[in-house]
Amino acid sequence: MPVPPDLIHAADTAARPARPETLERATDALFAAPNSPFFFVFYPKHRGNWKVETIQAGQGIPDEDVGTWWLPVLQQEPVQPGVNGNHTLVSGANPEHQYDTAHVRIKRRGGIILSHDLGYMKEREVTHPRTKLPGVAYLEAWSELRPGLPDQRPKLVFDRTRYNRWLLWLMREGYLPAPDAMLLDVQRGRVAKRAPRRATVAHPDPALKATYVQEARDKEAQVAAAVVPEQADPVPAKKRPAYKRVN
């Protein structure tokens, strides 16, 4: 099943779907530093790689997405020569050879590499602010680059709700596995200790201390209410598409 378009359309209206072929330079390039293409990687066995997020009801949000969920925490893996096992390509080499070794290492560490077919990477033309040379900035689909004030970096605006809905979709469709129950128990236990610990710490401002304690209690309640998204089928290997060249 393809990713629903509303979950991965580019938040930055000047961005386009990332493609390997060379495209014409845009005439409205933004002053920003070019960067490297990337893959999203997920390590399901690490306790810190599961988070609790609440998706509120709103315009365009289906009822089935509304709720408090356990969702994965993804890492960006840049395809940058010399970084984390990525290689410099020799003339005529298959572009996938640039990151083959890096991906082997990720898999050996228990990581799952998400294909670009899942629509998360976009690109837009930029001009380097110092050298004035043209280049490409690779963005997450939910990020928008907006011009900043003079002599300041562009602002990066992120649509967290739509990103969390995409993570929810990945879980439901079986691209990522459900979390181990023991990992979630560890997370619940750590959160449950926050409010009592904060209540015993001396603080010069009683009102501010009460706020900190209440924040911890609210987080504990949110974690207690979180559920794991249901998956229609077990996680099949065939659901993880073959990697596509990105440069």
CA 202/CA 142 separation, integer angstroms: 41
Query: Has residue 89 got a pLDDT over 50?
Result: yes
**Token pair in block for residue 15:** 């961005």
pLDDT, tens only, 90-100: 566 555 656 66
Query: Has residue 178 got a pLDDT over 60?
Result: yes
pLDDT, tens only, 113-150: 999 999 999 998 888 878 888 889 999 999 998 877 66
Average pLDDT, the chain: 84
DSSP 8-state symbol, 176: S
Please give the backbone phi and psi of residue 142, each rounded to the nearest 5 degrees, phi first.
-100, 5
Q: pTM higher than 0.75 for the full model?
A: yes
Q: CA-CA distances (angstroms) from residue 38 to 13, 52, 91, 140?
A: 20, 25, 22, 9
